[in-house]
């Protein structure tokens, strides 16, 4: 709730997180729909022609040895079409986002999970001990 502007998420990302949570219980279970219901996350579908075009331009397109799936492609499509920032831990996605936002001439942040946790600590939303615990568990 402290993060501004509002956070958006696509159904593809929600499905991927649920799948990983079920297949890898050691990561913990994340029910992102709870955050949607609480209006912490805003769920958005690909709703414009531009978003759809960007999505299919990325979906399963090889970036070196990496192929973007539905989650990565939908994240890029919504963020680039609407000039939103992104939160993503995949270096290839952030690199593509940063390159495209230069071409499209807009300014928006690109964060990793670690950077979000550090911002939360800086804004005293989590303690330094909690930050350390999160970093040990996640990284």
Residues 63-77 have a mean pLDDT of 90
d(CA 8, CA 13): 10
Give the model's pLDDT for residue 40.
84
Q: Answer for the pair 46, 78: CB distance below 8 angstroms, yes or no.
A: yes
* Interstrand relation of 62-63 and 66-67 (parallel, antiparallel or unpaired): antiparallel
**Sign of the alpha-carbon torsion through 60, 66, 69, 73:** negative
Asked whether residue 2 carries a pLDDT value surpassing 70, the answer given is no
The closest of 67, 69, 70, 87 to 79, measured between CA atoms, is 87
Asked whether residue 20 carries a pLDDT value surpassing 90, the answer given is no
């Amino acid at each position: 709730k402290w993060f501004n502007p509002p956070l958006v998420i696509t159904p593809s990302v929600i499905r991927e997180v649920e799948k990983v949570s079920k297949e890898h219980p050691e990561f913990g279970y994340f029910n992102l729909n709870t955050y949607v219901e609480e209006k912490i996350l805003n769920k958005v579908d690909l709703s414009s022609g531009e978003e759809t075009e960007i999505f299919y331009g990325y979906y399963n397109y090889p970036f070196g040895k990496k192929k973007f799936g539905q989650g990565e492609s939908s994240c890029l499509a919504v963020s680039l079409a609407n000039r939103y920032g992104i939160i993503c831990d995949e270096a290839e996605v952030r690199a593509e986002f940063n390159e495209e936002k230069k071409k499209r001439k807009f300014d928006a942040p690109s964060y990793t999970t670690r950077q979000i946790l550090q911002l939360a600590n800086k804004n005293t939303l989590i303690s330094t001990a909690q930050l350390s615990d999160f970093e040990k568990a996640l990284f």
